[in-house]
């Protein structure tokens, strides 16, 4: 009989790695679970492979699995946590419950804002089906270089405005539709993250696809995220989906800290009258949304008629002239630095 993966994960949640005060599932120490007839095999990831105490954890996991499943072979492979993300200090997911709220705009300008503060920044476009980062940086035709090390190929991220970036849009023709099932898209995301030489980064910003599907679960369950930022617009229909996104990150099986809420298109400010604020969709809506979710409101980004033009021209707005919009994004970047 083949063991249940769900049950295996439940048992391993009882195995605590005391140096970090949490179980090995939440700490993302369990990788590549394989289940066969009377066999459970997986990799247990350690920071230091030479640590003698690692065997204690392996023995504990083995005993607990045998206690649950009886006379079954347990094959636990000790492996290093070292990978292409090992030198990335913080990974931040920028998410939304629905499309059209300006999530990519927030992700791009947050990355630029962090870079302007002297941070080493990476930006990954995780929207496999609808990548927009190449358009917003004006490098749709640019392809990443690659090199080989010990028989494995690594991509070199494209760099512009002080941000290292990569998107599926940098690897395929811009008119080519990606007709992939969920697992294929998840595998593509993992390859973009792990088969790329990101180098040393202070922050990696990940532009998530809208919704709460396979890509979100793949990222949250397989990579250690420092936190997430949820983007909304002031309309109630947007907030209904934002609530679902927040509940996804708070779910026991995901468990990613939410840094706060960003209200995009909070009000309209004419570029020739930057002191004016016109609350087209209602005033203090984002504040009310944040209070309902018990989250800090990190930023209120105004509407500016030049933002869309900047996105289409491949020059992110935060790298351009100073305005209330750039001030809001730079404030957001500073808050993220303070929080992390």
Query: Domain with 175 in it: what CATH number?
Result: 3.40.50.300
Residue 12 confidence class, pLDDT cut points 50, 70, 90: very high
pLDDT in tens, 279-328: 888 888 889 999 999 999 999 999 887 777 777 777 787 776 677 888 89
Residues 268/132, Cβ–Cβ less than 8 Å: no
How many domains, the chain? Answer: 2
**Which uninterrupted H or E stretch holds 38?**
none
69 and 99 belong to one structural domain: no
Residue of 93, 77, 145, 50 whose CA lies nearest to 254: 93
Q: How confident is the prediction for the chain on average, in pLDDT?
A: 88
d(CA 197, CA 146) in angstroms, rounded, equals: 9
Specify the pLDDT at position 255.
Answer: 82
178 and 226 belong to one structural domain: yes
CA distances from 202 to 87, 112, 118, 199 (A): 8, 13, 10, 10
289 and 187 belong to one structural domain: yes
Residues 168/178, Cβ–Cβ less than 8 Å: yes
**Domain C-terminal end among 36, 52, 80:** 80
Specify the pLDDT at position 321.
Answer: 64
d(CA 23, CA 8) in angstroms, rounded, equals: 13
Residue of 229, 218, 198, 15 whose CA lies nearest to 105: 229
| Domain range for 27 | 5-80
d(CA 163, CA 186) in angstroms, rounded, equals: 24
59 and 139 belong to one structural domain: no
51 and 170 belong to one structural domain: no
108 and 211 belong to one structural domain: yes
Six-digit token string for 190: 């993992």
Specify the pLDDT at position 164.
Answer: 97
d(CA 92, CA 77) in angstroms, rounded, equals: 29
pLDDT in tens, 68-115: 999 899 999 888 777 788 889 999 999 987 888 989 999 999 999 999
- Please tell me whether residue 165 adopts helix, strand or coil conformation: strand
- Sequence-ordered list of residues with C-beta below 8 angstroms from that of 18, at least 6 positions apart, any chain: none
d(CA 218, CA 128) in angstroms, rounded, equals: 13
Specify the pLDDT at position 99.
Answer: 82
d(CA 294, CA 278) in angstroms, rounded, equals: 26
- Sequence-ordered list of residues with C-beta below 8 angstroms from that of 256, at least 6 positions apart, any chain: 93, 220, 225, 227, 228, 249
- Sequence-ordered list of residues with C-beta below 8 angstroms from that of 268, at least 6 positions apart, any chain: 277, 278, 279, 280, 302, 303
Quote the Cα angle for 191-104-292, to 5°: 110
Name which residue leads in pLDDT, 95 or 253.
Answer: 95
**Which uninterrupted H or E stretch holds 324?**
helix 324-339
107 and 179 belong to one structural domain: yes
Name which residue leads in pLDDT, 323 or 338.
Answer: 338
d(CA 229, CA 340) in angstroms, rounded, equals: 13
**Domain C-terminal end among 49, 80, 111:** 80
Residue 275 confidence class, pLDDT cut points 50, 70, 90: confident
d(CA 333, CA 311) in angstroms, rounded, equals: 19
**Domain C-terminal end among 80, 106, 122:** 80
Quote the Cα angle for 84-221-11, to 5°: 120
123 and 46 belong to one structural domain: no
124 and 41 belong to one structural domain: no
141 and 69 belong to one structural domain: no
Specify the pLDDT at position 320.
Answer: 67
On the question of pLDDT at 183 being above 90, the answer is: no
147 and 177 belong to one structural domain: yes
| Mean pLDDT of the region 142-165 | 90
306 and 324 belong to one structural domain: yes
């Amino acid at each position: 009989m083949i063991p249940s993966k769900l049950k295996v994960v439940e048992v391993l949640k009882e195995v605590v790695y005391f140096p970090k005060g949490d179980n090995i599932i939440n700490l993302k120490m369990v990788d590549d679970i394989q289940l066969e007839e009377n066999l459970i095999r997986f990799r247990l990831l350690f920071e230091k492979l030479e640590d003698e105490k690692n065997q204690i954890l392996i023995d504990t996991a083995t005993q607990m699995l045998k206690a649950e499943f009886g006379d079954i072979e347990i094959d636990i492979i000790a492996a290093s946590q070292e990978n292409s993300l090992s030198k990335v200090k913080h990974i931040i997911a920028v998410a939304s419950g629905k499309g059209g709220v300006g999530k990519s705009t927030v992700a791009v300008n947050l990355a630029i804002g962090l870079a302007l503060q002297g941070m080493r920044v990476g930006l990954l476009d995780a929207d496999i089906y609808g990548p927009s980062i190449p358009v917003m940086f004006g490098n749709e035709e640019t392809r990443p270089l690659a090199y080989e090390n010990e028989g494995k190929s690594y991509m070199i991220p494209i760099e512009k405005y002080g941000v290292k970036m990569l998107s599926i849009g940098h690897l395929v023709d811009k008119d080519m539709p990606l007709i992939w099932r969920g697992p294929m898209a998840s595998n593509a995301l993992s390859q973009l993250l792990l088969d790329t030489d990101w180098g040393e980064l202070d922050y990696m910003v990940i532009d998530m696809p809208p919704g709460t599907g396979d890509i979100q679960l793949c990222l949250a369950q397989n990579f250690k995220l420092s936190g997430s930022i949820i983007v909304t617009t002031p309309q109630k229909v947007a907030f209904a989906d934002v609530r679902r996104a927040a509940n996804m990150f708070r779910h026991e099986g995901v468990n990613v800290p939410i840094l706060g809420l960003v209200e995009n298109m909070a009000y309209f400010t004419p570029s020739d009258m930057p002191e004016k604020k016109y609350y087209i969709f209602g005033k203090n809506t984002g504040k009310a949304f944040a209070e309902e979710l018990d989250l800090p409101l990190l930023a209120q980004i105004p509407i500016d008629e030049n933002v869309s033009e900047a996105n289409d021209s491949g020059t992110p707005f935060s790298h351009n002239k100073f305005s209330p919009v750039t001030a809001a994004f730079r404030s957001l970047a500073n808050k993220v630095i303070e929080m992390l």
